[in-house]
Structure 1
């Protein structure tokens, strides 16, 4: 007699993309006909999950219908069952004939009706065939139904082993798996398929997660989405790609984009999610890697050197602020020949505290302009406006990455000169910053200039020639300036000058002595040290107090 149903047999590994299809259209219940003669009840069941086949002793049938040791009956297949459900080692099974059984947990429909968890007594069978267990209808003793965590794929996905390796067999989008672990493999999260010790699916390919939440087994920082959330780029733009609520992901950075905090998705160069849509699961708390943008109504400076605090007369009690500190300021003015910012920060209380602009790197928010004019001297002066984001260079043509200037920044300059840039193997034209002895801005980055007309003080060829090592002859002018140091420090101009002017001269003299003593100083460094020392000496404006008698 021919059987009316057909069975598609696949191995469990094949369904997970790691083993080939075992067979198609094999006969269902090949011995069901014979078994039905002695059975009191017959009917059909339809599988809601792929299902292994078991013997009456609870061990798996390793060659059911010739499918091999890992053969399973595919989901949605309808089978004949023969007799009543039985219990083997605490699990309910349907007999499908020929001493073969499938777990009731994998059955979705019985005799055309949806199956619900059983609350009735499971009949026992002949004691010579299987061990049985009885469930009662008493609510207080009813067997609890354990909840499972399931995932549904939103992409086709490979199956990986515990080392993150795959043979690239695909599991199709839309499939659902029961999982029992969420673990870190090589810095990425993977779900382990329940019942499979060495089969994992990338968390990145998971769309929805249902059931109890699984805590990730990782030391990395992970967060779980409390709402459906868009993915954003580093500028805060989004194509409205959604990550579903309940999904757990690795994050490796917390940062402000505009005024909102975002987590960067681990392993992704330009994918961010809003912190407000998450709750942290594991790992260290991340701190913002940048600062919340400063509004245009205030000014915040970041020190790029350790800096003393001065009063409005240029005197210092040697209170030192550390490099990297961010300080709110509200005024910029000249004290002597140097520009200073006034501190207006609750962390530094006081009305008369100032820091040198020369010690400031990044300026955020409102760009302040000097409230007064630079003291009159013979040094040309102009004000430039930076046309695009750029960096300050030193006299050796090296970019100072800790000293960025943003577009629109204004600065006073005192000179135009060519500087040889080793990285570009050419000379380029620069403006010398009045507030920085060794600071220059490329003329090509300047969009406007006001004040004195400036012309280059050298040529491109001279800039190239200045890169050679200075000889003793090249250092003659510098040595002459250093020879004046003792006389200058004994003069009233030095002794009665402001502390800031004396500090400047001392610093420039020390730097000049170092350049003069070095055997590898370039001609350009010697010229720059000489000019700085001359300018510092000229700026000393002290005078002995006279008696009124």
Structure 2
């Protein structure tokens, strides 16, 4: 069994939401040097191999794809087996782990010397200090961040740049030789693609849609990139595959740490903007200590310290009654009712936000409407009966009539509400005015109701269809064109007078 705790500790290697117990199937096969079952603990992240010596890229448990088993994981093994001159531990069902990645067997430390295959020319360095990453001109690549002391990285050789010696990494990146030493103690697999997360990143599905509720990968983690693909013009790396589906992050939020490049060099995204966490995020960095506020501008007991970074989703004016003024606030993504003042924010990065209201709208929303304020609304409500008796209402489209009815209902609610604000009343009044203006119904003008032309008949049928929300094929003339019948979708037949829809010029 792979220890769940161990896997959780190295979940970045396994991918988001993959901290799950994996069962290695025990077999009765006899090992080369050991018989029976032993417990092995991994000292390095490890791939799974088949008895042919080739990687098993489809190793699954509970319908989850496991490309790598993390350092510290504990598994049951049937013992050692040599494949193509390399020692492996048999973890059952035809699957194997390289012995070089095993730290202990039955609780005892082991030191298996790596016996590389003939085509394994991997060379690695281990950082002895925190190290910056440079380009081929010796200029620091700020977006690559700082590589941590103790990190093992594959390198391809050395190069002198402006008189200084560097180790050449993948993707035209370099670190100073003074910050690293060549090592073979921690082998890195040839075909591993490791990526560094340089910005907080949203997790997407295979179609580029963010998961709901939102999942995030925090800056500073390192993942195995299983593959890459372009979705709607943007490159993504796949970092996991669970019962919820594939898990992808935007490549613009990463740098290639080591291994095979999965994205063509001429299509690599520009990730030099380190202030942006994700193109779909807006991040506010606080310039001073602050408390949070409610939607009414009231201070809460929750607080943040200066320098704290928070994701925000909206910018709006809120009326502060005690100060008799409107002030701009950012809405917190982590608290649906929480806000911080714009004035305490030092910097904003990511997706720009515009105010969703005006300072005047905020003022109106903070003042309760009086009876005098509601007088125009009362007049609009009183007029409704006359409006509904008019041809402009009766012969308008069904959607236009429904909109007017809804506006009147809301107006009645706001008129009767004791806590309705000026903004509520004004918006209700504006909605009635707009809906009334859209009522443009009128009778079809004809030369003679008893002798309609084909064009006049078609116009009448079209009007009846629009008013009753049916298709023209459901409307028919009868009784010498004196009447119309409308057959609804449920088969109900309604008889109408032509004179209700047409008038003589």
- TM-score interval, normalised by the smaller of the two chains: 0.3 to 0.5
What is the TM-score with the length of structure 1 in the denominator? 0.31
Structure with the larger helix share: 2
Larger-Rg structure: 1
What is the TM-score with the length of structure 2 in the denominator? 0.33
